[in-house]
Structures are given as C-alpha cells and as structure tokens.
Amino acid sequence: MTAPAAIFLAYFAVVFALGWVAMRATRDEADYWIAGGRLGWFTGGATMAATHTSAGTFVGTIGVMYTAGWSFGWVLLSIPLSYWFMVAVLAPRFTRTRELTLPAFVERRYDSKGVRALAAGIILVAGVVYIQAQIVAGGLIARAVFGVDVTTGMIGFTAILLAYTVLGGMLAVVYTDAFQLVVMTLGAVVAVPLALRQVDGLHGLMALAQSAHPLVFTWDTMPGVLLFSMGISFFLGGIATPEKLIRLYAMKDMPTIRRGVLFAIVTILALNLMVFVIALAAIVLFPQLPTGDLAMPMVARAVLPAALGSVMLAAITAAMMSTVDSLLIVAGSALSVDIYQNLVDPDVSPTRRLWVDRLGILLVGTVPVLLLLSGVGEGELVQFIVLLFTALMASAFVMPVVGGVLWRRGTRQGAAAAMIGGVAATFAWEALGPASVEPVLAGFTVSALLYVGVSLRTPPPPPHALEPYFGA
C-alpha cells in the first residue's frame, strides 16, 4: 500500500469512528439536527470555521487567485464582516427561540406552514447547487491521489460522506468538523513553508509570481464591479446561509456564540492567508494549468513529499467533507422535517422520525451526484458555483430572517414574495445578465423591495408571532 493511500484510509477510519460515536450519542431529533443545543465555544466555532472552509477555499479560492491574482483575496475580507453582523445584530434576537431548522424559524416568525415549506424548497434547490461544487472538488482530489477518473472519485467521496452523516446527524458533523479543522490547519501549515522553499522564500515568491503572471498584483484581471458584487455576495450570503444560522441554535448561549464566532473568524482569516501564499506558489510552479481548480492538487502532488502531499490532499478532502456534511444536514432537515413531517405526516412517531431524518439526508446526497453524472453543473470553476449558492441564500433569506427579527411590520406575504422574487431574479440574472455583475445584486434588491412593499400593503402579523422576538 502506498503512503498516500495509507494516510487517506487512516483519515477515513477516524471519520467513520466519529460517526459511529455520534450515532451512539444521538437520542432524539434535537441531537440529530442541532447537537442538542449544547455545543461549547470551541466545538461550535470549529464546526462553523470548518463549514466555511470548504472546497471553495482550498480548491475554488486558490483556483480564482491562480487565474485572477490577488484582487480576489480582498473580496474575502467581507466574510469577517458578515460574521460580526451575525453575532452583533442577528443572533441576540434570532436565538430567543431554539428551533431545529431555519424554515421552522420562518414558520414561527411568520405564522405560516406554507412559507416554511417554501423556505425548505429553496434550501433543497440551493443545497443541491452547493453540494455539487464540493463533489466536483472531491472527484479532482481522487484523481490526484488514487489515479481514478473524476466520476469514480465523486461517487466514492459522496458515499463516505453519506455514511457518517446519515448515521450521526449534527453530532457526527460537529465531531468530524473539529477533526477536519485540525487536518486542514495541519495541511496548510505544512504546505506553506515547503512551497516557499521551492520559490526562494516570500520575497522570491512575489517576484517570480509577478514574472509568471504580470497582472497578479493589479486590479486589472477582474472588473471592479464584479469584485464589489462578489464581496456583497459573500457578505449577505454569510449572514443568511442556513448551515451557519443553524450553528447558532446548536451553541449553548450568547456568550458561547460570541466566543465561538470569534474563534471561527481568526481561524478563517489565518487559513485564507495561507491559501493566498499557496495560490501564488502555484502560479510560479505551474503557469500553464488548463483550469485554476487543479492548482491546489498539483501543489500537493508535485511539490510536497509523498506523505506530506497526502496530508495536504487530506486537508482539501476535509474542507470539502466538512461543508457537504453541513449542507446535507440543512437540506436533509428541510426535506424530512419541514416538508415531510410538517406537511405530509405530522403525527409520525419519535422512533420513526429518526429513520425519516436519515432517509432525507440519503436522498439529498444522492441527487447532486446524479445531476453531475448527467452533465448538469459540470465544467464550472468551483468558486463560481459557490458564489451562485451564496447569491441564492442572500436573495432568499436575508430579508425574511434579518427583517423578521428587526422589523415588526414584516408579514408572511412579504416574506414569501421576497423569497420567490429574490430567487427568481438571481436565476434570471445568472442566465441573462452581464457576467461582470454577480446575480446577488439583482436578487437581493428585488427581495428587499418585495419584502418591504408587500409587507406594508398586507395586514400586520399577529402578536403571538412577534412576541418571541420583540416581547409582548
């Protein structure tokens, strides 16, 4: 057995073991979907950081920086701002009630099962888009490590993800995320100094990168309006993505949330800085790659020693898995809790509910692979698929969630109009609008106008819907 194969098998063995431990600790749906609402600041922050640090970071961000240079790196500064807003503005009211899912919050705030089902449907569609991006990255990693074709790699990684997530739910995700964050950090810490040694240190890296890519340190590789709209997309999407919001329910209280999110911000910034160095090294060492998404696998395979390269590829795998398992949780809960149990069979027994929950995750994890095998979503840079997901989340949920806890006048009709109009405008812009502007600008603008306009023209929400968030 080769060293890379042995390292990956050991990694997968730990992941399966953590999934099994989580299954044994899961007693009810609260454990399965929000880890019982008892996470501490370290585990809560680690799972939030690991969820954010996806293949979009280790494959997608490096891929875009390889192509466009440092200008894209400045866009990532919008991410800490979104976390600050989440903790300082949104969380204190959002967490006054503890729900199992984001659509459950929507139902409580807007007093409507129908709006809850609408939110769940949007999460399912958008979740499939995002999961596809991570699965593509998994296929690229499998090709680099095991020499298999990308299709086989995508199927294999999805099977592993489904196995432990279906077993242990959110507890499995939290346990494996903490482990995966350690692997990601270790991989980046190992890769950066070894890559720098290949290019004569940091000073040599800067000079060689500029020689290989003369525009790498300029603002000329991407239109300014595109960079700005990408930053808006990351900021708004970071506020309202369900897999992050649900972590607020999983942590014990507001002091825990504040410490956990601060830990996540520091970790994300450190990892992004190391990712930037790796991207510059890839420009120097592999200037003619057919796609930027190959940059990180090439650095891991060709620059680092076999064992250390395998650690780096395991870090990419950890990044991909830590995001997909979180998306599986929110999409699976949308299907099994918010749609099936809410609308089809509200009287399902507690024992059967866990089986329905596991079946929901299995279904939403299988569909993205089937779509990719049929050619849907294939060939896009990973980071741009991630941007579409964040645009959809921002357009659908920022106004109903943030407006819902800050503005008493927001109504169910306004929330429904904002979600439908925002998603429709995002898809329309993605299909027909200029590529130099991210669709989030159109989607969020339409969503905000509809939320406010329709709410003002419809009856105010009932007092019992407002009481949890605004008091009597």
Cβ atoms of residues 440 and 233 within 8 Å? yes
**Rounded CA Rg of the chain:** 21
Report d(CA 457, CA 451) in Å as an integer: 10
Residue 166 main-chain phi, psi, to 5 deg: -60, -40
Cβ atoms of residues 172 and 325 within 8 Å? yes
- Average pLDDT of the segment spanning 351-379: 76
Cβ atoms of residues 357 and 333 within 8 Å? yes
* CATH number, domain with residue 162: 1.20.1730.10
> Which percentage of the chain shows pLDDT scores above 70?
90
Cβ atoms of residues 403 and 444 within 8 Å? no
pLDDT over threshold 70, residue 354: yes
Question: How many other CB atoms are found less than 10 A from the CB of residue 105?
Answer: 28
Report d(CA 243, CA 248) in Å as an integer: 10
Cβ atoms of residues 320 and 54 within 8 Å? yes
The tens digit of pLDDT for each residue in 190-241 reads: 888 888 888 888 888 888 888 888 888 888 888 888 888 888 888 888 887 8
- Average pLDDT of the segment spanning 92-103: 90
- The lowest-confidence range among 172-176, 261-265, 354-358 is 354-358
Domain of residue 7, residue span = 3-470
- The lowest-confidence range among 48-57, 427-436, 437-446 is 48-57
Maximum mean pLDDT: which of 45-54, 75-84, 167-176, 424-433: 424-433
Question: For residue 90, what pLDDT is reported?
Answer: 92
Report d(CA 423, CA 450) in Å as an integer: 12
The tens digit of pLDDT for each residue in 149-183 reads: 878 888 887 888 788 788 788 888 888 888 878 87
Residue 348: burial class (beta carbons within 10 Å; 0-12, 13-18, 19+)? middle
Question: For residue 272, what pLDDT is reported?
Answer: 84
DSSP codes joined into one string, 368-387: HHHHHHTTTTTTS-HHHHHH
Question: pLDDT band at residue 144, thresholds of 50, 70 and 90?
Answer: low
Question: For residue 440, what pLDDT is reported?
Answer: 87
Question: How many other CB atoms are found less than 10 A from the CB of residue 377?
Answer: 18
Question: For residue 384, what pLDDT is reported?
Answer: 62
Report d(CA 140, CA 276) in Å as an integer: 20
Structure tokens at 386: 């991630």
Question: pLDDT band at residue 4, thresholds of 50, 70 and 90?
Answer: low
Question: pLDDT band at residue 397, thresholds of 50, 70 and 90?
Answer: very high
For the four alpha carbons of 401, 407, 411 and 416, in that order, the dihedral sign comes to negative
The tens digit of pLDDT for each residue in 307-317 reads: 766 776 776 67
> Which percentage of the chain shows pLDDT scores above 90?
22
Sort residue 437 into left (φ over 0), alpha (ψ -120 to 50) or beta. beta
Maximum mean pLDDT: which of 25-29, 284-288, 347-351, 453-457: 453-457
Question: For residue 445, what pLDDT is reported?
Answer: 94
Residue 459 main-chain phi, psi, to 5 deg: -60, 145
Q: What is the reported pTM?
A: 0.82
Give me the number of domains the chain comprises. 1
Structure tokens at 345: 């069979």
Report d(CA 109, CA 269) in Å as an integer: 34
pLDDT over threshold 90, residue 401: yes
Question: For residue 275, what pLDDT is reported?
Answer: 83
Cβ atoms of residues 138 and 8 within 8 Å? no
pLDDT over threshold 70, residue 54: no
User: Nearest CA to 248 among 51, 12, 432?
Assistant: 51
The SS3 call for residue 39 is: strand
